[in-house]
Amino acid sequence: MPHSQSAKPTHRAPDLCPTHNLKGFDVASAVARGEFVLSLSTMLGCDYIFVSHKGPHELLQLKNADKTIRELLDLLDTSPHQSMVVSADEITDGRLTFARYDYVWENRQVTKVSVTPVTHKDQIDFMQMMFDCSTSC
């Protein structure tokens, strides 16, 4: 049944989150151990890749972020030019805090990664809405 275009976020069906051979991927290992839960939401051609976790994680530290982002892009088969990586850290009271991982894609590599905590109420509300609409991978 065809769907009409709307301004609402579009959701990828679970079968659109590929299950590649995950051997050798640190991110995939973290998912397998239950340290990360990956989900994806698409709006206006941008893939919001959410990495849910509890507390700080080594793979999300700035020194590892370029490799982690590259693995996420490969695992989820998303465009590096149209993807945004967002960590969703569950703090002790069950609330989520969000941080955006901005990066530059040069010569088929992730470079110049910076982490920006999402602190403005409108931005938090938007990220929460996108997170709530995301599909687990």
Q: What is the SS3 assignment for 70-127?
A: HHHHHHHCCCCCCEEEEEEEECCCCCEEEEEEEEEEECCEEEEEEEEECCCHHHHHHH
Q: Where are the domains of the chain?
A: 22-136
pTM: 0.81
Would you give per-residue pLDDT tens digits along the chain (137 residues)?
333 333 334 333 333 344 444 455 799 999 999 999 999 999 988 999 999 999 889 999 999 999 999 999 999 999 999 999 999 999 888 889 999 999 999 998 999 999 999 999 999 999 999 999 999 98
22-136 maps to CATH 2.60.40: no
